[in-house]
A and B are shown apart, each in its own frame.
Chain A
Amino acid sequence: MSKNLVSQEIIDEFSVAIGKEKVSIDKPTRTCYSITHGPEFLLHDNYFDYFLPDAVLRPSCAEDVQNIVRIAGKCEIPLVPSGGRSGSSGAEGMRGGIVVDMCRMTKILELDEKNYRITGEAGVRMVDLVSYLKKRGYMAIDWPASDEIATLGSRAAINGYNWWENRWGSAGTIIQGIEVVLPDGNIVQLGRGGNRPTKSAIGWNLMDLFIGSRGTLGIITKVTEMFTDFPSILVSRGAAFHTVKEGIEAYLDLKKSKYSNTVWRVVASVSEHMSFPITVGKSWPDEIAMMVNYDLYGEPSEVEGMVKCAQEILKNHNGFTRPEMSEMVSWYSSHMSEWKGIKEGMNIELGLASHLFGDRIKTEGYSARPVFLDPNIPDSSLLAYYSELQKLLATIEDGKTYPNLAECVKVYDHGAIIPGVRGFNKMWVVLHVYRKSMNKESRKEFIEWFKKHIELILRFGGAISTTHGWLPRELEVEFIKKIMGEKEYELMKKIKNLIDPKNIMNPKIIF
């Protein structure tokens, strides 16, 4: 099982082409690429061997990437492009394949202040991009929760979820240009604006073919994103609701397109049930079913006007605040909305998993693993879906429907709702998986439950997402066909075959 499938001769060829120091074949280094932050490894008892790549290459320029791809194409060696590996989207290594880690391509290449465009190499970390812009008075608008480790290239490759999606859309909307090394080794420049059509019927929008393609069509080496001036003020507010119905209706009204210039983010959440007792040491009042928080960004006059409007909307849906809630509301606002950084954001969510389920908080023992589901649900069926979702989530824990699964999975977040693409929402469902208790039976039940989960989403006109969610690999082809349609999937395959006829680009996923 441990014998490499990629021969030493091929490794030597890579070493000559890009430099020996950029090639690692030692097992300890390869080990680190057998796993990502994605949950796929939970379904494999022997993930270590299953996902262990034969080599890791770290190109430092696009020319290196071209050389890698040409050799891989010639020898028909699978390539797995890798960014920060903080996503859920299939950056695990593969046996007999090579990981191309873009971490050494970290240059910010151009800041076009007049046109609000910034261009960087694929390995630029988002936190460095954010900091670079902030020092110059600008704000990055493609801002993922994992900004500390997510990279520009992977933002394009997974069409990443963006913190300010209600205002600016996903990473794919913000990205204006990409450079891609195709499987034949050629480089293409694709995008909108500049010498590419901004609004035109001259040519196809080829860039969007690669946005979210998860490394299956080529390796993205350069990305151009939009940014904005730093808004003058931020106001974060919220209100509580006695019923989920009132909360969701208020949320939907707040995220209406006519307000979205100022309303950058809205969250309708029940997760505080779990998180507040730990973070502020107080229990969440039982009679509160939902909390809706919002962030307003902009210039003082427009934000002040929107504050009044937003408060009116919440009030119309019987939203309320009470003095004893102020600490909780302000905690939420400062930690989750103002977005000071990872210490107050993703860390908290992930950290809670360690403590709420598992033994870590009691015995400093094993912690649990958060698994994000994040289906996309349309506005029109949000409330109905939410209700059905709760029934489905209850089956995880009831101990009867999935007796083995109940031993190792708990529902942490029953559905915080955040805006996605206009008209759609991310249902931020989080499970806590106690990995140490996972076994063959519980994994099987997990897959069974997951199928029901997807079917429910499809029934309500939604879609599964691996942007911030997850689709187990063994279900991928079956459900991509269901989500996209058989004919559409066949079209994808034709395009894949045209661009990557030898199927060397991340072949373990989608196809």
Chain B
Amino acid sequence: MKKYGVLSLKEYEKQLENCVSCYCGLCNKNCPAYTELKDAAVSPRGLSEVALAIIQGKYEISELSNEILYSCTGCRACEWYCTENIFIDVKTRKTRVSGATVTEILRSMKVESGTIHPKVRDALNNIAKYGNPYGGLPKSKDDWVSNLGIKTDNIDTILYVGSLVPYEDSAKIMAEAVIEVMKKAQIKFAMLGSEEMDSGTSARVMGEEGLFEEMVEYNLEVFKRNKIKHIICISPHDYDTFINYYEDMAGIEIKHYTQILWELIDSGRIKFNKELNKKITYHDSCYLGRRNDIYDEPRKILESIPGIELVEMEFSRGTAYCCGGGGTGLWIDLPKVDIDLKRADQINEVNVQCVAVACSICSIMLSAAMDSRDYDIEVIDIAQLVKESYC
């Protein structure tokens, strides 16, 4: 079987050396794990030193705590600030210095060692058995697609809703908004129903390389069998996985739904007819922004909706603070890690009625954070805003 995106510590040793050789610590600035825990071992530079020590045989993977293994959200803020990544275009995971990449490797070593966090194990079992980490029944996905009246075959463009839909409420609402807008704009697309399984993103971040490879093989076969040429992703996490981990998508064009919506707005196919009169800020998804440079389309969509006043947070675009849901954040609730609350505070600082998101995981995390903080700020997906003004 082909190994997709698998990276060993040994293969990554140069970047570990480069980090340790400098050890400036600028990567710590907006690292959510370090900011929360104030533990040098979860900081990006600390992870490099830890990983290098493992290579040198100073200790075993089994000696790493859950905090070290699972605090990283994969937001890649460390890469953004890292001096070693300045100036040169090191795009591959193998050549960029990154705490997130170190964590991915350590997690896969942990899985290989056979001892994994129980919640990770449960989620992985669900993915293997049902194709989604929630353990949702495939039939319910078929029923959901059928009720929406979406075709499941004979169209080369699919809307890839991901494995959170329809099992998680806010993700389902978000997907339905995208579907309604695309239907009204007369975009021809199909959905795969239960044939669509997790892209592998969940398995990947949990360190289950073998399962990830199985998902990749499965999905590529499904795409080939259905003669898919274009995939529109709802989730930035799936988008990121297809773009950065599949390695060979056989010519299939991958887009995030915000890119599609902006194209429709820009070409005049979507014309808004209702003013929303809302002061809004936009929370950049790490997997869309920092990981894939999609910063402008979501903002252009928001700015084009009548009545929306878009304000920026202090930490936005490349410096945006994570919601806390990336990596294994949705599955493992580590004590003293309240990344979402800090982001909620940053949102609250700009005095808005709404925070727009383009990722269902961000939506889940930030909604919970707003409730915890008792902030009267609505967390709403961009597609829902478009729908409200357009449909």
Contacts and interface: CB of A to CB of B under 8 A. Distances in A.
Contact of A149 (B28, B50, B56): B28
Contacts of A300: none
B185 interface: no
Interface in A335-375: 342-343, 346-348, 350-355, 360-361, 364-370
Nearest to B18: A367
Contact of A343 (B58, B59, B81): B81
B219 interface: no
Nearest to B67: A29
Contacts of A32: 40-41, 43, 45-46, 49-50
Interface residues of B, number: 39
B310 interface: no
Interface in A75-120: 84-86, 101, 103-104, 106
Interface string A253-288: 000000000000000000000000011000000000
Contacts of A346: 24, 26, 83
A103 B43 CA distance: 12
Nearest to A38: B23
A354 B84 contact: yes
A48 interface: yes
Contacts of B21: 366-369, 435
A31 interface: yes
A355 B26 contact: no
A24 interface: yes
Nearest to A367: B18
A436 B28 contact: no
Interface stretch (B85-93, B263-271, B364-372): B85-93
A17 B195 CA distance: 58
Contact of B63 (A28, A101, A351, A364): A28
A127 interface: yes
A369 B22 CA distance: 6
Contacts of A86: 24-25
Most buried by A among B20, B41, B64: B41
Contacts of B314: 131
B276 to A, nearest CB: 29
Interface in A207-224: none
B314 to A, nearest CB: 7
B87 A31 contact: no
B68 A28 contact: yes
Contact of A31 (B18, B49, B65, B85): B49
Nearest to B54: A28
A31 B58 contact: yes
B29 interface: yes
Most buried by A among B53, B56, B68, B90: B53
A439 to B, nearest CB: 15
B31 to A, nearest CB: 11
Interface in A8-45: 24, 26-29, 31-37
B253 interface: no
Interface residues on A, range: 35 or more
B50 A28 contact: yes
Interface in A405-444: 435-436
Interface in B41-88: 41, 43, 45-46, 49-50, 53, 56, 58-59, 63-65, 68, 81, 83-88
B24 A364 contact: no
Given A36-B23, A367-B84, A342 B29 contact: yes
A26 B63 contact: yes
Contacts of B38: 58, 101, 103-104, 106, 123
A352 B63 contact: no
B39 interface: yes
Contact of B24 (A31, A146, A343): A146
A148 interface: yes
Contacts of B41: 24, 26, 28-29, 31-32
B88 A347 contact: no
A411 B244 CA distance: 38
Most buried by B among A32, A34, A35, A149: A32
Contacts of B40: 29, 32-33, 56, 101, 103
Most buried by A among B17, B24, B46, B59: B24
Contacts of A148: 25-26, 28-29, 81
A149 B17 contact: no
B59 A354 contact: no
B90 A364 contact: yes
Contact of B87 (A101, A355, A436): A355
Contacts of B18: 354, 360, 366-367
Contacts of B58: 2, 27, 31, 48
B172 interface: no
B45 to A, nearest CB: 8
B95 interface: yes
A370 B45 CA distance: 17
Contact of B14 (A24, A48, A365, A369): A365
B25 A149 contact: yes
Nearest to B38: A103
11 contacts: A24-B41, A26-B41, A27-B58, A28-B63, A29-B68, A31-B46, A35-B20, A36-B23, A85-B25, A367-B21, A436-B17
The 3 closest A-B pairs by CB, nearest first: A351-B86, A350-B83, A32-B40
Given A148-B26, A342-B29, A350-B24, 20 more contacts: A24-B41, A26-B65, A27-B59, A28-B63, A28-B65, A29-B39, A37-B22, A37-B25, A58-B39, A127-B29, A131-B314, A146-B25, A348-B86, A354-B18, A354-B86, A355-B87, A361-B87, A361-B88, A366-B14, A367-B21
Interface of A: 2, 24, 26-29, 31-37, 48, 56, 58, 84-86, 101, 103-104, 106, 123, 127, 131, 146, 148-149, 278-279, 342-343, 346-348, 350-355, 360-361, 364-370, 435-436
Interface of B: 14, 17-18, 20-26, 28-29, 38-41, 43, 45-46, 49-50, 53, 56, 58-59, 63-65, 68, 81, 83-88, 90, 95, 314
